[in-house]
Structures are given as structure tokens and as C-alpha cells.
């Protein structure tokens, strides 16, 4: 690290669990963020400010005025612009040393297969089960840790799915692809503005811990938040031997 970086990241360097070597690992890391909305905004900003050297941001949508209630990486001047590009501009204003690749397209299986070999961690910040399952399958296939978050109304959840660990489940172990889960859109259900910031911040923290090798990750645990009572609940989750995605792993 150069002198400017030592100053910028000095509060990380002071932490025994990170230090200079941990910060160097962050600077050399590459994170893939799927979704640049409510969850993706705090995720991208915190990973960038923390010094993750490369970020790839994927989102096919454009900024809408209704997004600005909670999607803090965007602003009024960028309404109509691709969200991925908007996030890139916000990161550049905070930490121009971070290399950001903005992809204004859907995260389909072909794109994920092309991106995952070169990244160190994947963060699912999307809002629909189909994409979540595509991302999960790609992470299992390419042996990449997945940090997954979800938020709607006043309820949020977050976990780490890391099938590099023999007992750790994948997303499909907990939410089977053939189960009848109903996607609920923010436009019809609404979402409490700070909720996405809370869940997205936890996702960013888990990704940074994975990249540095600090602490205990959320693998095998699902955190659920009821923001109305501000109560966190945790349940243990295990790999399912019959899982169609990761059942043959490990």
C-alpha cells in the first residue's frame, strides 16, 4: 500500500482482525454485486469505501424517482440512467481507486458463467427468486461464496451460502427451486427505507469478513429481522443431501 492508502484505510489497519495484510487482501479482491437497488446500493458503497479493489455491478434496470426513497447510491440527476452506471459514478466520487465494471444487463446463466471464474465473492442483492436461484447455481458450480440478502415491507433476511464448506447449505437447500414462493414487488408491497440499508450493510460486512478471513461467517445460519420490533432471529440451516443444486458437493 502507498502512503495515501495507509491514511485512507488507517481505521481498518488498526483492527487486529484486518491489519495491513487484511487490507492488502481487500485491495487485491474482486466482488460481484448482482443488483444495484436498495440492497446493492449500501453493499457497493461499503465495499468501495472499505477498499475492495475491483467491483463488478450487474443490473438491467434504470433509476426511477420512486427508487430514491431507499436506493442511496442514486440521485435525482440520474433518473433514467442505468442503475449500474449510477452506482459506478457514486463509487468514483468516494473512492476513485476502485475499479468498477458496470453491466447494464440481466444476470442470466451465460453472463454468470463468464463472470464468476474471476471473482472472489458474490453478493445477491436482487428481488426475485428466479435470479437468486441462477446466482446460487453459478456459485455452487464455480465454488464461490454467496452472500444473499432480501428485504420487503418491514422484514429482511441475510445469510452466507458457501458450499466450499462440507456441511454448509446452498440457497436451494433453504428455498428449493420447485417450491411455491411468491415474488412480491416493492411497488405493490412497499419497503421500509432503512431496512435495505440494514440488510445491505450486513451483506457488505459478511463479504469483507470472507475476503479478509476474519471472524465467523453466517454460513449455516439465517438471520431474519423484523424491523417493526427491531428484533433479530437466527435459525440454523444445513445442507440437504437431496438438494438438486449442491447435493453432490463436498
Active site residues: 186
Rounded Cα gap, residues 4 and 220, in angstroms: 38
Nearest C-alpha neighbor of 132 from the set 156, 102, 155, 112: 112
Rounded Cα gap, residues 244 and 10, in angstroms: 45
Half-sphere exposure of 87 (CA within 13 A, CB side): 37
Strands of the chain, DSSP E: 30-34, 54-58, 99-103, 121-124, 146-152, 155-161, 221-226, 231-236
Rounded Cα gap, residues 208 and 133, in angstroms: 23
Could you tell me how many helices (H) and strands (E) the chain has, helices first?
Answer: 10, 8
Strand partners, 235: 222
Strand partners, 150: 157
Rounded Cα gap, residues 25 and 5, in angstroms: 13
Amino acid at each position: 500500500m502507498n502512503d495515501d492508502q495507509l491514511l485512507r484505510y488507517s481505521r481498518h489497519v488498526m483492527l487486529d482482525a484486518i491489519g495491513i495484510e487484511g487490507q492488502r487482501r481487500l485491495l487485491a479482491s474482486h466482488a460481484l454485486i448482482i443488483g444495484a437497488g436498495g440492497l446493492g446500493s449500501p453493499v457497493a458503497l461499503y465495499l468501495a469505501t472499505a477498499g475492495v479493489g475491483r467491483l463488478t455491478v450487474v443490473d438491467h434496470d434504470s433509476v426511477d424517482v420512486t427508487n430514491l426513497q431507499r436506493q442511496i447510491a442514486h440521485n435525482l440527476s440520474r433518473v433514467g440512467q442505468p442503475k449500474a452506471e449510477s452506482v459506478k459514478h457514486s463509487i468514483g466520487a468516494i473512492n476513485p481507486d476502485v475499479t468498477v465494471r458496470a453491466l447494464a444487463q440481466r444476470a442470466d446463466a451465460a453472463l454468470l458463467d463468464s463472470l464468476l471464474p474471476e471473482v472472489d465473492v458474490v453478493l445477491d442483492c436482487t428481488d426475485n427468486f428466479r435470479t437468486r436461484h441462477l446466482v446460487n447455481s453459478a456459485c455452487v458450480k464455480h465454488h464461490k461464496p454467496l452472500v444473499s440478502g432480501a428485504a420487503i415491507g418491514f422484514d429482511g433476511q441475510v445469510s452466507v451460502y458457501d458450499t466450499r464448506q462440507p456441511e454448509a447449505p446452498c440457497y436451494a437447500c433453504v428455498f428449493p427451486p420447485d417450491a411455491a414462493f411468491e415474488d412480491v414487488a416493492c411497488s405493490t408491497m412497499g419497503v421500509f427505507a432503512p431496512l435495505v440499508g440494514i440488510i445491505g450493510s450486513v451483506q457488505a460486512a459478511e463479504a469483507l469478513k470472507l475476503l479478509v478471513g476474519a471472524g465467523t461467517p453466517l454460513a449455516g445460519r439465517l438471520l431474519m429481522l423484523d424491523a417493526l420490533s427491531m428484533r433479530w432471529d437466527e435459525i440454523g440451516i444445513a445442507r440437504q443431501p437431496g438438494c438438486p443444486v449442491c447435493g453432490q458437493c463436498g
